[in-house]
Amino acid sequence: MGQNAADAEQSAHLRKRIRSWQRAALPGSGTGTAHGKVILLGEHAVVYGAPALALPVPSLGCRARVACRFPGEGRVVGFRMVQLPPGVPSGPFLPPPHITEGPIPEGLHMVVSALLRRAELQVLPGVDILLESGVPPARGLGSSAACARAVTHALDDLLGLQLSSEAVFECVQSSETAVHGQASGIDALATGSRRPVLLAGGHVSTPAVGADGWIVVVDSGSGASTKEAVAMLRDSFAAHPGSRERFLDHSTALTLAGLRSMAGGRLAELGRRLTDCHQLLAGLGLTTERTDSLVDAALTGGALGAKMSGGGLGGCVIALAATEPEADALAALLLREHGVRCWTTRLVREAEHAGT
Ligand code: MEV
């Protein structure tokens, strides 16, 4: 055997040994979860540092499963996304899930590359990703952040990185910035929190909630990307000097008033701030005929307040109810008369916390 052949055989042998070591060292697969969110007050203004309040929607779940593939050299060798009918388990009489197979979205690709680099492996595996999401996309429910968060946790599990909550946030936020262009971080935070999230000037805390309440989340049936809505507003502010400051002042006043009402358990007052916030966002062209009419229908149906939520230009409307039976009755009415999908999430009474 010549020297070259001997070297090739030795390096092949070495690669094989490293591969088996990698297989033994890595658990082979990892799982991660996250969930949807709604914005109660302060969307868009939060992009410019003003306060905003978000609420998790745990019933809209997202799960990622990742597996190592050898050889892979750090590439995403497989990506499948299963969009589940939200809030319900799959079954024979339900619409089939929508399955996307193919290239991984850019934001998620960044997450995979960053975490593989962080793992400092001698031989990089390929990564196969299966995402199962019950968070409807383009409805202002935090779908992109929930997917990025679930993939981050799954890779953390796979690679044994033991990421801190700050490192997880950084990963999700870098993906969000790639997807939205300009992202405040509130979606990245709320899709991993079990409590309401207050983000103000880059500072995160858990606001006080003085009374239990219920939020009905109503899908308007159409939506646009948050990137589009954020860019539309940025262009409009640039074209109308002073409009940005007026919007931020008004939004801040509403959010702070809403926080005081929520802390004091005055839900009717909080509801009025939600409706005021809808009017403010409507004045900027962020609502549609459909979201405006769903807000009217919710208010006529007895909601304490109602508004668009998230990026807007379609998406979801949220409505506040004081009790679970009231929320159920509201959801039933909206479903019967407007044919919309509804989910509910809770506002749980609790004291203020410094962090989430
Ligand atoms: C999207 O859920 C909320 C926006 O304010 C964008 C952001 O905060 O990144 C529209």
The finding on whether 145 has its CB within 6 A of some atom of ligand 1 is: no
Whole-angstrom Cα distance, residue 150 to residue 63? 6
Residue nearest to atom 2 of ligand 1 (CA): 310
- Structure-block tokens of residue 122: 């001698």
Number of alpha carbons in the 13 Å side-chain half-sphere of residue 144: 30
The finding on whether 43 has its CB within 6 A of some atom of ligand 1 is: yes
pLDDT on residue 190 = 98
Query: What's the 190 CA to ligand 1 centre distance in angstroms?
Result: 11
The finding on whether 288 has its CB within 6 A of some atom of ligand 1 is: no
CA-229 nearest atom, ligand 1: 10
The pLDDT tens digits of the residues spanning 233-273 come to 999 999 999 999 999 999 999 999 999 999 999 999 999 99
Which of these, 152, 156, 120, 150, lies nearest to 133 by C-alpha position? 150
Query: What's the 311 CA to ligand 1 centre distance in angstroms?
Result: 6
Q: Which of 46, 143, 197 to mutate to test the pocket of ligand 1 (most atoms within 8 A of CB)?
A: 46
Inform me whether the pLDDT recorded for 211 exceeds 70.
yes
The pLDDT tens digits of the residues spanning 160-202 come to 999 999 999 999 999 999 988 889 999 999 999 999 999 999 9
The pTM (predicted TM-score) of the whole model is: 0.89
Whole-angstrom Cα distance, residue 196 to residue 205? 9
Residue nearest to atom 8 of ligand 1 (CA): 184
The finding on whether 183 has its CB within 6 A of some atom of ligand 1 is: yes
Give the helix ranges, DSSP H, for the chain: 3-25, 106-119, 143-159, 165-180, 186-190, 226-239, 243-263, 267-283, 289-300, 324-338
Q: Which of 135, 143, 184, 248 to mutate to test the pocket of ligand 1 (most atoms within 8 A of CB)?
A: 184
Over residues 282-301, the mean pLDDT reads: 97
pLDDT on residue 15 = 57
225's torsion region: left (phi>0), alpha (psi -120 to 50) or beta? beta
pLDDT on residue 253 = 98
Question: Residue 4: pLDDT band by 50, 70, 90 thresholds?
Answer: low
The finding on whether 87 has its CB within 6 A of some atom of ligand 1 is: no
CA-45 nearest atom, ligand 1: 5
The pLDDT tens digits of the residues spanning 63-108 come to 999 998 887 888 888 899 988 875 544 444 556 667 878 788 999 9
The finding on whether 310 has its CB within 6 A of some atom of ligand 1 is: yes
Residue nearest to atom 9 of ligand 1 (CA): 183
Within 10 angstroms of residue 110's Cβ, the number of other Cβ atoms is 18
Rounded to 5, what percent of the chain is helix, strand, coil?
Answer: 45, 25, 30
Query: What's the 310 CA to ligand 1 centre distance in angstroms?
Result: 6
Range in 67-71, 130-134, 269-273, 277-281 the model is least confident about? 67-71
pLDDT on residue 88 = 47
The finding on whether 86 has its CB within 6 A of some atom of ligand 1 is: no
Whole-angstrom Cα distance, residue 310 to residue 313? 9
pLDDT on residue 21 = 47
CA-226 nearest atom, ligand 1: 10
Distances in whole angstroms, Cα of residue 122 to Cα of each of 15, 66, 139, 153, 289 = 10, 19, 41, 22, 56
Range in 1-15, 75-89, 342-356 the model is least confident about? 1-15
Name the percent of the chain lying above pLDDT 70: 88
Mean residue pLDDT across the chain = 90
